[in-house]
Amino acid sequence: MDDGENTIIRRIKKWELESLVQVYQSAYRRMMKYAYKKGERIKNYLEWLYQGDPEGLLVADRKGEIVGFASIHSEWEDWRWGRTGELHELAVREEFQGKGIGKKLFNKAVAYAVKKGRKTLSLWVGEENWIARSWYQRLGFEEKGSWGEWVRMRKDLSSPEIEKINKNTGKDL
């Protein structure tokens, strides 16, 4: 059975934040160039994500074990596009990648952004992170520019596909 089928996506409980450190480290094992390296810095980053939008910090829970997470700030202000849903992080432990868990996290993040009235979803991705860049493109993101070693991507949230995702995944947010 696919591990993704045994996984539920839910909001994090604040006391679970520290458990995300290992998930983060595992997810970035092959792409350390773009990762925070020290545990304390990762904890601070996770706290920043939580403080920015506690309802937008979602975890993939597989039989009581957190194997992934996504963080979306629904009230992010982009200087070019105005208010957007900003997907700051989507991380799945290395051994659970490729099993549909990231897609489940993504769909819940989209549903959350739509519920909050966002018409776009945006993110930054490392320019050499070709796996993530192509995955986001398959999900409908377009590259809109770059800054240093980061690529800016954006997705329109007003398509019928989004309505279907929201209908199927947004009801329990």
Tell me the per-residue pLDDT of 67-108, one tens digit each, with 9 for 90 and over.
999 999 999 998 888 899 999 999 999 999 999 999 999 999
Whether 125 and 133 have beta carbons less than 8 Å apart is answered as yes
* pLDDT at res. 172: 57
Q: What is the mean pLDDT of the chain?
A: 91
- Residue type at 4 in one-letter notation: G
Q: Is the pTM of this model over 0.85?
A: yes
* pLDDT at res. 1: 40
Whether 55 and 12 have beta carbons less than 8 Å apart is answered as no
Residues 6+ apart with CB under 8 A from 32: none
Stretches where the chain sits below pLDDT 50 are 1
